[in-house]
Structure 1
């Protein structure tokens, strides 16, 4: 069994914001896999699907970003899922808009939802797929920036990134973390015209 955790903040107020790209990737996967309507369980919107012969849980914690770990801990414990079979999808201020970065372990890098998950799991060996949302202008506070919506000119890049992230997760499920990293971790070309997550 695999668990894909998309991070974001619940409620219509936060839909389409930079901080909610994890939720957007879950929506893309649910659409691709014809997932049933999620049920509220373990403080998350939770769907169960089968992909490539593997049972996969799609979880969108409804606890707000900073305490996402509380929900993830409940799911992992109930279903007895090993940490290597968990994939956390989140935004990243330190990557260009639309750039993807997949890692099998490491620090939270300032992402508070991921930090919450690593803390409750007691390990940094939790795979994570980061989606770049860009840096805020000097005049904008980072906390406000992550809750803002993407500019119109950024939509093509972030839409490509969401599709690329979903494809990377499918590859992770089928072929493992190393194979997925080899495809996903492609540097965003100058200008960002090529879809992230695709080999040149």
Structure 2
């Protein structure tokens, strides 16, 4: 059984819970819910962590791969601190790391699953790359759309999803969680074919 680390990126604290920047947390929460796994805060790790098993039959179903779900307790631009510590603790190679994050260059709900690449101006990714000393990890990019009018990108991602979108958001978060499961159990190519939009 190999170990995978999946980190959903976001900002800690109730004021950020429903913001676009926190879809990574939402997707990690959905994966934990499916596994009936609870997050705890290991000492010195600066993250909430939940462990489960993932197989082709689903999350929480053995035999399969060990899955460590992570929600950093740092702010977005320091996400790499928690990810780096946990990758070192579990002795993982970067190619067993999945980072789930919001993406303004994709329309709401669109997914792009990829391996490697730059940070595309995303401060969370920039921090993870800096702490892992490589960009060679998997990314699940969840589209939150670009701001309209004269709104700044930072204000857009830190704004909450409008109430009218919340039902669709729940559906898209589930689909993104499906993509994360597929990536780990079916591989990149099969997952891209099914989920990249």
Structures share fold, TM-score greater than 0.5: yes
Distance in 2 (alpha carbons) for counterparts of 1:178 and 1:69: 26
* Corresponding residue SS for 1:59: strand
Let me know the Cα RMSD of the aligned residues.
1.2
Alpha-carbon offset, residue 10 of structure 1: 0.1
Distance in 2 (alpha carbons) for counterparts of 1:56 and 1:113: 21
Which residue matches 1:195? none
Alpha-carbon offset, residue 155 of structure 1: 2.3
Aligned equivalent of 1:51, options 29, 50, 54? 54
Alpha-carbon offset, residue 159 of structure 1: 2.0
Deviations 1:152-199 (A, max 9, x none): 3322332222111100111112121222112111x2xxxxxxxxxxxx
* Corresponding residue SS for 2:69: strand
Alpha-carbon offset, residue 109 of structure 1: 1.1
Scaled by the length of structure 2, the TM-score of the pair is: 0.90
1:171 and 2:182 equivalent? yes
Which residue matches 1:145? 156
Deviations 1:112-145 (A, max 9, x none): 1011101221111111001111111222111111
Scaled by the length of structure 1, the TM-score of the pair is: 0.89
Alignment of 1:1-20 (within 5 A): 1-20=3-22
Alpha-carbon offset, residue 107 of structure 1: 1.0
| 5+ long unaligned stretches in structure 2 | 56-63
Aligned equivalent of 2:94, options 83, 88, 91? 83
| Kept in 2: contact 1:100–1:161 (CA 8 A) | no
